């Protein structure tokens, strides 16, 4: 495949187009950090986001980055006729007056729309799935076959490089039949969270500093399984009478989640809010709990690790990278059994057990850096654009 000469940005950097559909959660955090870091390194960065599932905080922060351009294209998560208009709009941006050196699609929908190309100058396509749809254990055999086939076709025919965010996701990509020579792992990185927010978050709910607080951060969606956590806390509540739980997030399942909280009889102990970001909220937790059905490498886990917080997670992608079992946290079977999650919560709240887990968590605080993530991604871009 021939590559035309590199077109440098205003400061001698690359011209990069970043494309994202979910516009929130961990993929949104990754997207914002990458755009900010690449701009600071002198690259011309333009961003495309979808307003369909965008969180207000994401849009505000994206626009505050002062990128070269921010484009809004309505992209829906589910396949449908609207994809045609989204593809055409995205193609017009890619074909703009000055060509890009790299197009980087994030998440399955943005990746599917940004990678196919028509005859003309080839612009290297990079793809970060942020958890393949086929990693969902509840997806049926037919769904895995269809989604897997689409991912493999796109990877083999239209992808110059695929960046996995954990070893688990990398292994899954290989199991689907994706070319190993075009794959690598770049683990997500985070900046240290504002630890002084702990008292502010707790005070907003009238929770005292000495109350043990379990925390959840994530989109209220099937993938994040918030209903699992509510059921587990209900199961454990009588054994943990003095504990509280703060759930931070919004999403399509919010009505169901609020109903589940009301039906649990624990409305005075479970607080659901979207007033804080994950990095603001995590310092207020004693223990992060992640009941997800599937992940690639959760930013929530990384933020908790950067804050020195122990955590409990289902056995999903990235969990074993961040959590040392029986060290800074616990990993439970991802089989939908809320009793196992409840038992882990009870075990972690034991004073002696918690002190040991917290000490181990403090030792891992500096393990994941956003600067390293940006540097490694930039190196991939240069190899593709310059073939160095």
User: Does one domain contain both 301 and 373?
Assistant: no
Q: Read off the DSSP letter of residue 81.
A: T
Q: How far apart are CA 5 and CA 35, in angstroms?
A: 23
Residue 132 lies in a domain: yes
CB-count burial class (<10 Å; 0-12, 13-18, 19+) for 95 = middle
Full-model pTM: 0.75
Q: 208 and 338: one domain?
A: yes
Query: Could you give the CA distance from residue 342 to residue 314 in angstroms, rounded to a whole number?
Result: 12
Q: In this structure, are 127 and 37 located in the same domain?
A: yes
173 with 252, same domain: the answer is no
Q: How far is CA 317 from CA 11, 86, 251, 296, in A?
A: 38, 30, 22, 5
Please report the pLDDT score of residue 152 as a whole number.
96
Give me the helices (H) in the chain, please: 25-40, 56-64, 82-94, 108-114, 141-158, 167-176, 198-204, 226-236, 254-264, 278-281, 299-306, 319-322, 338-348, 351-363, 370-386
- pLDDT for the residue numbered 55: 85
Do the domain assignments include residue 4?
A: no
Q: CB within 8 A of 88, min separation 6: which ones?
A: none
Reading the chain (388 residues) residue by residue, the pLDDT tens digits are 333 334 444 456 999 999 999 877 788 989 999 999 999 999 999 999 999 988 888 999 999 999 999 999 999 988 899 999 999 999 999 988 789 999 999 999 999 999 998 777 899 999 999 999 999 888 889 999 999 999 999 999 999 999 999 999 999 999 999 999 999 999 998 888 888 899 999 999 999 999 999 999 999 999 999 999 999 999 999 999 999 999 999 999 999 999 999 999 999 999 999 999 898 999 999 999 999 999 988 889 999 999 999 999 999 999 999 999 999 999 999 999 999 999 999 999 999 999 999 999 999 887 788 999 999 999 999 999 984 4
Tell me which residue range forms the domain holding 307.
195-363
The verdict on 203 and 344 lying in the same domain is yes
277 falls within a domain: yes
Give residue 268's pLDDT. 96
Which CATH number does the domain housing residue 41 bear? 3.40.50.2000
Integer CA distances (angstroms), 337 to 240, 245, 269, 343, in order: 19, 19, 22, 10
| Residue 248, strand partner residues | 217, 273
Same domain, yes or no, for 175 and 210? no
The b/e string for 346-378 (b: 16+ C-beta within 10 A; e otherwise) is eebbeeeebeebbebbeebeeebbbeebbeebb
176 and 58 part of one domain: yes
Give the pLDDT of residue 11: 55
Mark whether 208 and 239 lie in a shared domain: yes
User: Is 222 within the bounds of a domain?
Assistant: yes
Q: Give the torsion sign (CA, 113, 116, 121, 122).
A: positive
Report how many domains make up the chain: 2
Residues forming beta bridges with residue 246, ordered by sequence position = 215, 271
User: Are 134 and 234 contained in the same domain?
Assistant: no
Is residue 95 domain-resident? yes
157 belongs to a structural domain: yes
Look at residue 97 in the predicted model and tell me its pLDDT. Answer: 77
Residues 6+ apart with CB under 8 A from 24: 53, 54, 55, 57, 58, 219
Q: Are 176 and 169 in contact (CB under 8 A)?
A: no
Q: In terms of domains, do 159 and 199 share one?
A: no
Regarding whether 239 and 96 lie in a shared domain, the answer is no
Residues 169 and 240 in one domain: no
Determine, yes or no, domain membership for 37. yes
pLDDT at 71: 97
Q: Is residue 2 part of a domain?
A: no
């Amino acid at each position: 495949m021939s590559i035309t000469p590199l077109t440098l940005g205003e400061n001698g950097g690359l011209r990069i187009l970043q494309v994202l559909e979910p516009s929130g959660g961990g993929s949104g955090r990754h997207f914002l950090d990458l755009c900010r870091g690449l701009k600071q390194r002198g690259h011309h960065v333009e961003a495309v986001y979808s307003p369909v599932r965008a969180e207000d905080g994401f849009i505000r922060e994206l626009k505050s980055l002062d990128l070269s351009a921010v484009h809004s294209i309505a992209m829906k998560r589910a396949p449908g006729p609207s994809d045609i208009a989204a593809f055409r709009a995205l193609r017009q941006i890619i074909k703009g007056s000055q060509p890009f050196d790299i197009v980087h699609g994030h998440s399955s929908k943005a990746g599917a729309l940004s990678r196919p190309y028509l005859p003309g100058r080839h612009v290297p396509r990079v793809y970060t799935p942020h958890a393949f749809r086929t990693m969902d254990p509840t997806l049926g055999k037919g769904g895995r076959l269809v989604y897997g086939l689409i991912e493999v076709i796109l990877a083999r025919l239209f992808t110059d490089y695929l960046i996995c965010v954990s070893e688990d996701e990398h292994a899954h990509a290989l199991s689907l039949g994706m070319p190993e020579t075009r794959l690598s792992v770049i683990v997500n990185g985070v900046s240290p969270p504002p630890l002084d927010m702990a008292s502010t978050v707790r005070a907003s709910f009238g929770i005292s500093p000495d109350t043990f607080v379990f925390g959840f951060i994530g989109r209220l969606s099937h993938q994040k399984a918030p209903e699992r956590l509510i059921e587990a806390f209900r199961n454990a509540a009588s054994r943990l009478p003095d504990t509280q739980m703060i759930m931070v997030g919004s999403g399509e399942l919010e009505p169901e989640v609020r109903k589940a909280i009301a039906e649990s009889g624990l409305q005075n102990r479970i607080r659901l809010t979207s007033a804080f970001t994950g990095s603001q909220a995590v310092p207020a937790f004693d223990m992060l709990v992640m009941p997800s059905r599937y992940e690639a490498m959760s930013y929530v886990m990384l933020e908790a690790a950067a804050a020195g917080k122990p955590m409990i997670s289902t056995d999903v992608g990235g969990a074993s990278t961040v959590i040392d079992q029986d060290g800074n946290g616990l990993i439970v079977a991802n089989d939908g059994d809320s009793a196992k999650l409840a038992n882990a919560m009870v075990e972690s709240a034991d004073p002696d057990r918690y002190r040991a887990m917290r000490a181990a968590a403090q030792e891992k605080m500096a393990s994941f850096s956003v600067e390293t993530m940006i540097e490694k991604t930039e190196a991939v871009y240069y190899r593709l654009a310059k073939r160095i």
